[in-house]
Structures are given as structure tokens and as C-alpha cells.
Structure 1
Amino acid sequence: MTLRDVVHLVIDALPEGWQATALPGYVIIYREEATYESAKVIWRKRNNNVIEVQGQGLLDDGEVEEEPDSDED
């Protein structure tokens, strides 16, 4: 059984209004209907059916701060 299958079963067992969102590295499940730009896949229950929607999968470039060199002698 794949993760996709398990998430489908979980959302199917929950009442409408819950969704699962696959983000890079993890899956979150909340009672909400939100769209995250970094979502890979979103599962929602509508009219007693689980629907799977492809997300945008956008990743933030982010900023990496450089640490100053420390002279530990």
C-alpha cells in the first residue's frame, strides 16, 4: 500500500472539511480548505468522494545567511 493509498483512506474516513496536503518532506492533515503554494498534492472530501488535486509544488528560494568566520585558537 502506498502513502497515496493511506492518505486517501484517512481522508475518506474523516468528515467533509478535512484535507491532507503533501508538502516537500511531509504530509499535514487539517480541518481546512487551504491551498499551499508548496503543496505537491492535496486530498479533499467532497460529496462523500475523495478528490486528489495536483498542487503547484513551488519552493521558496530562501535566503541563507553566512556566518562570520570565528577565529578559535
Structure 2
Amino acid sequence: MVAPTPVSALLHAVAVVKAGVFTVLKVAVYVFGIDLLGTLAATTWLAWVAAATIILVLWSLFKKTTSKRGSRTLL
């Protein structure tokens, strides 16, 4: 991929990585069917893991401080 660094990073972060997640999901729906995927016990477990991951990442984000001022920032 030939592009300036910010554009290349954006394309890689959004287009390439996210496309893989959606492709795996679509293939799973086509192969197994939406009814089977909805009745799996793993969906509840997966939802809890996703929620815990979101909470842990937000907690670590709010805990992070900048080195210049020591103030709490989101980015």
C-alpha cells in the first residue's frame, strides 16, 4: 500500500482489520446459519467477555496520565 503515513495507518486500522472481522462473521452465518449461531451457549459468554474487555480498557484509559502536565486526558 503506497500512501502517506496517516492515510496508510487509517486504511490499515479501519479497512483491512475491520474487514477481516466482518468477513469471518459473514462466513460463519453462511456456513452455520443464523438460527444455530443464535442458540449457541457461547454467545452469552462472548458478550460477557466483550463487556469486561470494554470496561477494563476504559478503566485503564481513565487511569492513564500524561507526562507533561500530569492531568487526566482521554487521548
Identify whether the pair has TM-score above 0.5, normalized to the shorter chain: no
Q: Which has the higher helix share?
A: 2
Q: TM-score, normalised by structure 1?
A: 0.32
